[in-house]
Structures are given as C-alpha cells and as structure tokens.
Structure 1
Amino acid sequence: MRASRPKVALAAIAAAALAVAGCAESDRDDEGSSGNKKDTLVFGVAGDPKVLDPSFASDGESLRVARQVFETLVRPEEGGTKVSPGLAESWTPDAAGTTWTFKLRSGVKFHDGTDFNAEAVCVNFNRWYNAKGLMQSPDVTAYWQDVMGGFAANEDDTLPPSLFKSCTAKDETTVDLAFTRVSSKIPAALMLPSFSMHSPKALEQYDASNVAGSADDIKYPAYATGHPTGTGPFKFKAWDIANKTLTLERNEDYAGEKAKLKTLIFQTISDENARKQALRSGGIQGYDLVGPADVEPLKSEGFNVLTRPAFNILYLAINQKGNPKLADLKVRQAIAHAINRQALVDSKLPPGAQVAVNFFPETVEGWNGDVTKYDYNVEKAKSLLAEAGASNLTLKFHYPTEVTRPYMPNPKDLFELVSADLQAAGIKVEPIPLKWSPDYLNATTSGSDHDLHFLGWTGDYGDGYNFIGTFFDRQKDEWGFNNPALFEKFKKADTTADQAARVALYKELNADIMNFLPGVPISHSPPAIVFGKDVTGVKASPLTDERFATAEFKS
C-alpha cells in the first residue's frame, strides 16, 4: 500500500459528502432490528478516507472502505496473499502470456440494480485507459500508473507506454484483457481495490471521470464523494465529514453470502489512546493500528486481538540528490552501520517484529539471505565517514507527526532512537517534523530538500516486484539516484514470464540493492487489529484486506 500524497480540496469533498450524509449516529442504536442480536459495528480508524472512488485512492482508509463496497476480478485469498476468484471464476493466459481470458460469475448486480457482465468490465478498463487531463496526474491515478504505466494518449512525455492494450467482451461472462507485454504484475495486481468494478450507469450518471481543478487543488466529481456503486456486500449510505463517520449498509441483493451486519460505521479517531478508550467504553467495537504496548493488555482484558502476518517494510531513505555527500557509498554504509536496528525492533516494535535483511519480508519469493549486511558498528561508521571526508556531516532528518502506520507505530520515538545512533557516530542531525499528509509526503517524495526520512510499505500482493520494483525500478525523487543498470534488470525481471527465473532475478536484485544501498531497510512489523469481546468472524489479512461482511456479534 503506497504512501499517498493527495492534494485534494477537502472542503469541496466535505460539502459534497455532507449533501448526501445522513445521521450516522442514529444507526448506532439500531441494534434490535433483527431481534436481540446486535447488527451495527462501529470501527475506529486513524484517519478519514480521502476519496470514495478507489480508482483515485492510494491511502489505506479509502481502500479499507472500497474493499467493503466494491469487488475486483480476482482477490486475495482470505487471510493470505494468493490470487483467488473474485468477480471472475477463472482466468487463463494465451500462449504468449499477453492476453488473459476471464470467465465471470453470472447473476451479479451492481448496487443500482444493473448487471455486472463482460461489457461492464470493458467500460471500467476503457475508462482508466482513456483517462485525460488531471486523471493522468500521479496524485489521482497512482495505482493505475504503478501497474499499467501510461494511458491511450499520454499528455506527459515522462509517462511510459501503457501495459494495458485492450478489453474485448466475447460474451456476457467472458472477457479478454490484452496487454502489450508479459508482466509479473498480471493477474496479481488486479486484486488491488483500484481495479474495482463500477456500475457503468453510475459512472455516467455522476460524471465519474470529470476530475477538475488543478494539480495543487484537485476537485473530485460527485461519484467519488457520494455515489460509489459497486457489487460488494455493503452499499454506501453516508459520509459525514463533520462528525468523522462513514456509514455503509448491508447489500440485501448481494450475489454471495450476505453480510451478517446490517450497518458498518467507520469512525475516525486519530489518537491511538483515544481509540483504545473508546473500545473499552463501548463507543466503538474495534479499531486498527493497535499500539505495540497495548497488544498483551487488551488480550488479557478479553478483547479479540488479531495479529496480521508481517508483510511490510520500514526503511530509512537516503536522498542522494540534495546532499552530494550522500552520493558517496561509504557515507551511506556509515549510516547503515551506525543504526542499532535490533535495539529499535526490541524496544519500539510489537512482538514478532524482525530486523530487515532485504526491502521485502522473507515470506515473499525472491528474498535473499546472502546479501551484504550492515551490522551495528559505531567505530566502523566513524571510520567510513573519515575515509569519505565526511566526519563533520550534518543531515536533515524528516519524520512524520500525527500518524500511525502499520510499519511505523511511533514515528517520533523511532526518530529519537535513530537520531541518537547517528549522533553517536558523529553525524549531526537537523530534525524536521512535518504533518503526515500532505506536508511530510510531499516533502519526502518530491524535490531534493531532504536527506534522510522514514517511509515504508505494506505489500499489495505477494510478488517481490510490488516491493522493490515500486521503490527502485526507475529514477524517483524520493531516492535521488540514477542507476541505469539496476533499472534495466528490473525491466528484465518484470517481463520474465517464467516464475522460477523471475524469482532468481529478484534474488539478484536484492543483492544489487544492498550493495548499492539507496537506503537502509529497518524492520518488518506484524501490526494488530482489535475487536470487542463479543465480536467474531473477521480474519486478519497481511494485505489489510479484512472482510467485515463476516463480522458478527456473539449471541
């Protein structure tokens, strides 16, 4: 899951959302409508969703909502990362590996009563592929560009050619998706909520592709703020930004097993301790991003704490563009040796966290234990700095505020520990704390006025390219380096059809990355999610793909 850097006019979204918002608070008392069984769950989240159309979403809270309202052709297996059937029952490539045939489920309807079929699939793909204007901004269609590259007619010379080529509806339940080349991303990337299927009728009715404004002031259409229309087990009901609630209701016409809950409310409570207290008081019945120190106490109190498998990475990024000293490999090696990563894992992260050896976890194929490792060694760090003529180095160190991430539970605490390590090795640190969104994300993923910063990633699907390719497959402002040989090897890995050969290339790439050392992989952390003592039925997902349709209250 990418760290988004939205530049959205929130006031415009709020106005549109409030126009359709009902009183979500009143739903909380509707617990007796199906007998004595409770059927409304209020779940505490750390932040507001940014947008309700997942085509434009890259933040976790928007995608959490989308996963309940929309469905994709393929989806992750419950509790895992393997590709499994979604709206498609099966999928097969042609001999060249460039055209995939999907057999679709029959009898599925969108929330507005229209049919889901092959034509609807093509409407969705053609909408993305033929995007124009601001829809081609990386701040609007981030995941399309991560996966597919460019569009039918690129309006920016820096955009690559599109991986997607065409969609053909062969009959009501058979659709061909053609691509310009073999790619490791297909079909796994189609699990992303950004490739959710939308009602063609609703897309047209609410002018869903009419993204207006400017790159610094994006204004989304009514569809994206108040009329998301999918096929999922829940339907959108209201988004009350003023009261920080988003309400979904059960889709009574769902083609699969209907949700056990009648109403699902996402309540934004940004402070972690406040979420915990709301759970204990009964104001909410679950929340995400449980603090590491709270896991065992909440378990002992009888709450249902679920620990996700560690499928993420926290890293310290080193920007080689802004400070010429950081382009010296010895300086980057010194930084790596200066950090006591094991102490950080032991003192700041939840049980089960591990020091990272690669930029993706051991559970992903292509992980390589035989790479250059940088043990904690202050004297070696000082020696390397001296050899590089950088003994008096001063670095700007950005860290985020007002945020909790699955891989980064307490950013200020992590900064203080790593900053002390660097200073012990003789590196002076200039702390630069910034609000997570949009200040921190804009500052660290664009421009050159940043030396060091924390960032991370929760995997979208179980392929190594989704981690290291996302970070290092081309020149990016976050890292500020140009390494054509590395970029070419990524291109080769992505276009290698044979899985075993691709995995071997991932192992080589992990070795190359740790030799080049664009940053320091810090840790993999198993984040926790908690539910009330009487809530059951939800299975933790390494992809944060928890399915609230299966949640229910014990009798």
Structure 2
Amino acid sequence: MVHSRSAQRRWVAAIGLTSAAALVLTSCVQSERSQDSGTGGAAGGTFTFGAAGAPKLFDPMFATDGETFRVARQMFDGLTTFKPGTAEPAPSLAKEWSSTPDGLTWTFKLETGVKFHDGSDFNAEAVCFNFDRWYNLKGDAQSDAVSQYYVDNFGGFSDKPETSLYKSCAAEGADTAVVTLTKTTSKFPDILGLPSFSMQSPKALKEFNADDVKAQGDSFVFPAYANEHPTGTGPFKFGKYDKANNVVELVRNDDYWGEKTKLDKLVFRIIPDETARKQALQSGDIDGFDFPNAADWDSLKSGGFNVEVRPAFNVFYVGINQKRNPKLQDLKVRQALLHAINREQLVKSQLPEGAEVATQFIPKTVGGYADDVQKYEYSVDKAKSLLAEAGASDLTLKFYWPSEVSRPYMPSPKDLYGAIAADLQAAGIKVEAVTKPWNGGYLTDVDQGAQADLFLLGWTGDTGSADNWVGTFFGNPANRFNTGASAWGADLSAQLKTADAEPDRTKRYDLYKEINRKIMAEYVPALPISHSPPALVVKNTVKGITPSPLTDEKFVDVTVN
C-alpha cells in the first residue's frame, strides 16, 4: 500500500465533503485545483530514488505491495486523491462529487480534456469501463492474492453480485459518471484515492489483455499490460523496466492535464539492502530512499541530508495462521504469545523515537480506538502458565519473516524477527525460521495461509476509516489469519460489516470500540506490536516532497538542484 494528522481524524474534506459518516444530508466536494495552462515549468533533470524491492508489476489493480504502489502513484490518477500531508480526500480526475442522502448513489463531475498516455480520452465512459473491469474479473484474477484491494474494499465480483459493494456505473454525458452502490459504507469515496483504483486506459487494457491472469504453481503470471504497457493519466509515463540493472524508468508526460513536472525522468533504482541504499545516497548514486534505519537518522542529518519524518499511521503485527497448527486455535495459546513478547523493549531497541506499543490494531487517531481494551503485560511466567493450561508447553511454530524489504512499520525485518523469536524461545516455544523475499514467495505464502504459523506483517492506513484497518484484517473470515478456523470468525466478520454500514458517526465509533475490545479480550486473531513514525531521506538539494501519513508521496513537484 503517506502520512501529518490531527489528534482526531477528520472525516470531512477541507472543502466540504462529508463521507458516508453523515449521510443525512447530500454531500458535495469541489476541486480547488488549478490546471496547468500548458506552459508548465522548464523540464530538466532526473530524480533517482532508491527502492527497497522490485515492483511486483505495474498494474496497480493487481498489486498489494508498496514498491508497486510507489511507482504507480506517479503514472496514474484516481477519481479522488488525498490532500498532501494528510489522509483527507481531495479532488483529482473528479473535480467534484455528491451523494444521495442514503449514500448509495454517487455523482462524479470529471475534469475535461484529459488524455491517457496512449492519447485516448479520459471521460465518463472510461470511468465506467474501469469500475466494470474490476467487477467483472474472472477466474484466477479473482484470487485474493491478485485482487486483494478490490476484495477487501468492494467484496465480490459479478458472478456473486449479492456480495459486492459495487452495483453499477452510468455515463451521463462525457463529464459525469454516476456510481451506484449496494449498501452504505464509511469508506466510499475515500477508497477511490488508492492506487489500486486508479483510472487506466480502456484502449490499452483491451489491447494488451490486461485481465488475462493465470495461476502457475504457487504464483501468478500477469499479462503484457501489467509488465510493459501500464497506461494512466499521470504526470509520468512508463519508460522501461531494466531487470538486469534493477532500474525502473519513468518519463515526463508533456500532455499531463494538471501542473506538469519539471523533471525529465524519474528513476527507481532497486537496492534491497538498507545499508547499500544509504551508501548509494552518500555517494550520490541516488537522490533519496525510503525507510532509513532509525539508528541512522542523526548521522544522515549531520551528513547534510534531509530526514523527513512522517506521523505514525501504521501497525506492525505478528500474524497467526490458526488453520495449520490446531493448537493456535486455543485463545490461551494466542494470549500466551502476547505475554511472551517484550513489546516495550522491542519498541525502545528496534524502532525510531516516537514509536509506541500497539494495544490494538488501529492507532489512536482513528475513530473507534478504545482506551479500555485488555492489556497484555510482558511476563514469561504468565506465558508459560497459559501454555501449560492449554496443553501446549511443547509448542513448535514455523515463523516467517521477509527479506529484501523495508516497510514503514517494519524498518528491519531481520532484527525485529530476531527479537521476537528470542522472546518466544525464552517462554519455551520452539521456533523454526523461514525467510523469503517480500515479492519472491513471502507474500504468496502468507496470503495463501498454508505455510506459516506466525508471520511478520503490518499495515499503513489507506484512509482514516476504522474499516480500512480492522475491517481489512478481519472482515473476511477466510483471509490470511484463517479466523474461519475458529467459531467466532464469522461472528467478527458480521460485526465489522454492521459497523461499517452504520451511517451515524458516533454510533459507528461505539461499534468499533466494542469490536476492538472483543478482538483483544475474546479473539486475539493476531498480535499487535507497535506503531512507528517512518521517515524518508533525500539530498538537501531535493525540493518538493511532502511527507504523507499514507506514504502517498507523489514526485510531480520534485526538483533536484
């Protein structure tokens, strides 16, 4: 899958949008974005960014990883976006929108004169083509591992319309698209600012068979569109992906509908090792990189680099697959794991200043956070006692951790794994380590849920809706946590659906607070560890980057002197 934010998350765009939080009135948002007259700024220069891993592909609809999304954000626009530096929805290709009082029908007024990179027109028909494309995916393209963001946010596809949030889209002239939903939800239209729901060229999607996804063993093969022909409306166009030299190159879109970038090229140089990324920055081979190790922040600053710190809008957790090892289906065992991990020490020793222990799966700034959830103090004796009560003193767990990646919530997976594994072993739990590259088997094994007992993962919020957090994690009883292996899995899923559909904000927050209490006291489907303030670092000659609580930085305004 960006991130300064006020103490209380705001659900209203600065220029007047009310999300489905207050559906008693018709809501409307209008764009204040000024369009470039065509002159733009003088083009010139290349901005080279050090990426922690390779993008999985270039079609954001089928992406789940941050490295793909980082590249996609530069090439594609959505109907909505987020106000820079916040999680507030803002206009993009839709310059304004409004909803009916019940929140089921949304009318989007579109920017005009916009072209896709292939020269074809962006209009209401293109909007509906994209919505219908997502809804009508077939076969292997429906897999959670392929279309996870659609499944998490829109539910089912056209072959099971009763499970889908999306109902229909109609073009009313070239500049008006009307989207109809099947139910009220707190997350619409904010989710349309996510890279997965970017507007893509219908012409290119059809020409290069964009939906022809095929399963191959434990992975998937994606069509030419996803690998060679991504086509959006963004300020940068796809140039090339040189796999031999680990370089993705984007070029300036001279026909961009908004304010044009001053850069000639945007280059992502893939450097999996964090130390190597730092050395590349110091030697001048790259102009910046994301998620520098917190231990290096001071030295980078003293070395003349700008360390831009984002607010903590994430959660790092240890996932539990209850299906593979039946002992993990015992609540006492899962509670024992929480007691066994010294989260306070981990936060102090492994994470940056400002990080804090997570008591639940959402940060304090998200509506629905509960102050009174059950707490789990660090206690090896308590952990051992619970394991003994559950008949699991001989517990052995296969514990996955990812290589070739650094995430906002997980700056050094190897070190975090080491600290957690040592704590578990101190409580008498045997740990079998398994490591795979993030986009080289790790996500596949974790998503399919058949391999790992425990795994390291986390989440950076896409929006300020609690549904984007606990709804994403636990709304589907058959997801990677395999909550369906427990009797309460379906019950939790139902509670989350009820909360998301509640139009009254206060009532909805109360529902989520109760859900969070139950998650931590009665369910414990995974182990929340921490919230961390991630950073990115650039040369002091780089200007124009606004740190985002959503890691939603766009490089259109970047200059390199």
Instruction: Compute the TM-score of the two structures, normalised by the length of structure 2.
Output: 0.88
For residues 181 and 331 of structure 1, do their structure 2 counterparts lie closer, same or farther at Cα, with a shift above 3 Å needed?
same
* 1:253-288 alpha-carbon deviations (Å, 9 max, x no partner): 212111121211111111111111111111111111
Assess, with a 3 A threshold, how the Cα gap between structure 1 residues 295 and 284 changes in structure 2: closer, same or farther.
same
- Counting only pairs closer than 5 Å after superposition, residues 229-268 of structure 1 correspond to structure 2 as 229-268=231-270
Task: Read off the aligned partner of 2:275 and give its amino acid letter.
Answer: N
**1:461-483 Cα distance to aligned partner (Å, 9 max, x none):** 11111111111112235323331
User: Are residues 392 and 142 of structure 1, via their aligned partners in 2, closer, same or farther at CA, if it must alter by over 3 Å?
Assistant: closer
Aligned to 2:115: 109
1:403 deviates by 2.6
2:287 to 262, 285, 288: 285
- Picking from 373, 376, 388, the partner of 1:374 is 376
Q: Which string of whole-angstrom CA distances, capped at 9 and with x for unpartnered residues, describes residues 66-93 of structure 1?
A: 1111100011111111111111112111
Could you tell me which residue of structure 2 aligns to residue 527 of structure 1? 534
SS of residue paired to 2:172: strand
The SS at the match of 2:407 is: coil
Please, which runs of 5 or more residues in structure 2 have no aligned partner? 2-40
Between the aligned partners of 1:373 and 1:299, the Cα distance in structure 2 is: 37
1:298 shift after superposition: 0.5
Between the aligned partners of 2:135 and 2:495, the Cα distance in structure 1 is 27
- What are the Cα deviations for residues 336-378 of structure 1, in whole angstroms up to 9, with x where unaligned? 1121101000000111111101111112111111100001122
Cα deviation, 1:308-340, whole Å, max 9, x if unaligned, reads: 211111111233223332222222222211211
State whether structure 2 residue 406 is matched by structure 1 residue 399: no
State the Cα distance separating 1:489 from its structure 2 match.
0.6
Q: Distance in 1 between matches of 2:336 and 2:448?
A: 25
- Judge conservation of contact 1:311–1:458 (CA < 8 Å) in 2: yes
Q: Distance in 2 between matches of 1:425 and 1:220?
A: 44
**Equivalent in the alignment of 1:509:** 515
| CA distance in 1: counterparts of 2:481 and 2:141, whole angstroms | 25
Q: Work out the CA distance in 1 between the residues paired with 2:236 and 2:534.
A: 25
Q: CA deviation at 1:544?
A: 1.3
For the residues of structure 2 that align with 1:477 and 1:182, how far apart are their CA atoms? 23
Contact 1:149 1:160 in 2 (8 A): no
Q: Find the aligned partners of 2:298 and 2:495 in 1 and give their Cα distance.
A: 44
Q: 1:356 to 1:206 in 2, by over 3 A?
A: same
Which stretch shifts more, 523-532 or 219-228? 219-228
Amino acid at match of 1:547: K
- Give 1:216 shift: 4.3
**Superposition deviation, residue 219 in structure 1:** 3.1
- The answer on whether the counterparts of 2:105 and 2:181 sit within 8 Å (CA) in structure 1 is yes
Distance in 1 (alpha carbons) for counterparts of 2:382 and 2:308: 41
Q: For each residue in 1:461-515, what CA deviation from the matched residue of structure 2 results, as whole angstroms up to 9, or x when unmatched? A: 1111111111111223532333132121111012212222222211111111001
2:295 is aligned with what amino acid?
A
Q: Give the counterpart of 1:426 among 428, 448, 456.
A: 428
CA distance in 2, matches of 1:79, 1:453: 31
- The residue that corresponds to 2:545 in the other structure is 538
Q: Deviations over 1:201-231 (max 9, x none)?
A: 2223333333346464533222222222211
Which residue is equivalent to 2:16?
Answer: none
Q: How many residues align?
A: 517
Taking the aligned partners of 1:402 and 1:256, their CA distance within structure 2 comes to 35
3-state SS of the aligned residue for 2:383? helix
Encode CA deviations 1:162-188: one digit per residue, 9 max, x unaligned.
211111111221110011111222111
1:90/1:102 contact within 8 Å kept: yes
SS at match of 1:313: strand
- Residues 83-102 of structure 1 mapped to structure 2, 5 A cutoff: 83-102=89-108
- Which letter does structure 2 place at the counterpart of 1:50? K
Name the amino acid aligned to 1:132.
Answer: K
- Is 2:53–2:404's contact at 8 Å kept on the other side of the alignment? no
Q: Partner letter of residue 374 of structure 1?
A: Y
Note if contact 2:145-2:447 (Cα within 8 Å) is conserved in structure 1.
no
Structure 1 Cα separation of the partners of residues 203 and 446 of structure 2: 40
| 2:55 is aligned with 1:52 | no
Give the stretch that moved more between structures: 77-86 or 223-232. 223-232
| SS of residue paired to 2:163 | coil
The answer to whether the 8 A contact 2:449-2:481 is kept is no
Helix, strand or coil at the partner of 1:493: helix
Give the equivalent residue in structure 2 for 1:27: none
* SS of residue paired to 1:550: coil
Could you tell me how far apart the structure 1 residues matched to 2:142 and 2:538 are?
39
Is the 8 Å Cα contact of residues 75 and 233 (structure 2) preserved in structure 1? yes
The answer to whether the aligner puts 1:174 opposite 2:176 as a matched pair is yes
Partners of 1:322 and 1:480 within 8 A in 2: no
Deviates more, 1:278-287 or 1:501-510: 501-510
Distance 1:439 1:238, change over 3 A: closer
**What is the Cα deviation at residue 390 of structure 1?**
2.9
Answer whether contact 2:56 2:439 (CA < 8 A) is retained. no
Partner Cα separation in structure 2 for residue 223 and residue 416 of structure 1: 40
- Asked whether 1:195 is paired with 2:197, we answer yes
Relative to structure 2, which stretch is displaced further, 335-344 or 125-134?
125-134
CA distance in 2, matches of 1:152, 1:331: 40
The counterpart of 1:440, out of the listed 442, 446, 450, is 442
Amino acid at match of 1:412: K
Q: CA deviation at 1:547?
A: 1.3
Query: How far apart, in 2, do the equivalents of 1:449 and 1:205 lie?
Result: 37
Aligned equivalent of 2:212, options 190, 206, 210: 210
CA contact (8 A) 1:448 1:477 kept: no
Bigger Cα displacement from structure 2, 281-290 vs 378-387: 378-387
The letter for the 2-side match of 1:273 is T
TM-score between both structures, scaled by the size of structure 1? 0.89
Contact 2:115/2:121 (<8 A) preserved:
yes
Residue 171 of structure 1 aligns to a residue whose secondary structure is: coil
Greater mean alpha carbon deviation, residues 504-513 or residues 204-213 = 204-213
The CA distance in 2 between the partners of 1:523 and 1:169, in whole Å, is 45
Gaps of 5+ in 1: 2-33
Q: What's the secondary structure of 1:90's corresponding residue?
A: strand
Distance 1:202 1:423, change over 3 A: closer
Contact kept? 1:311, 1:361, Cα under 8 Å: yes
- 2:73 corresponds to which of 67, 71, 74: 67
State the partner residue of 1:24.
none
Question: Of 473, 498, 503, which residue of structure 2 is paired with 1:492?
Answer: 498
Query: 1:289, 1:529 within 8 Å by CA — same for their partners in 2?
Result: yes
Return the letter of the residue paired with 2:491.
Answer: A
Aligned counterparts of 1:111 and 1:303: Cα–Cα separation in 2: 35
Aligned partner of 2:27 in structure 1 is: none
Equivalence for 1:311:
313
Aligned to 1:9: none
Does structure 2 conserve the Cα–Cα contact (< 8 Å) formed by 1:137 and 1:215? no
Closer, same or farther in 2 for the Cα pair 1:281/1:449, shift >3 Å? closer
Displacement of 1:246 after TM fit?
1.2
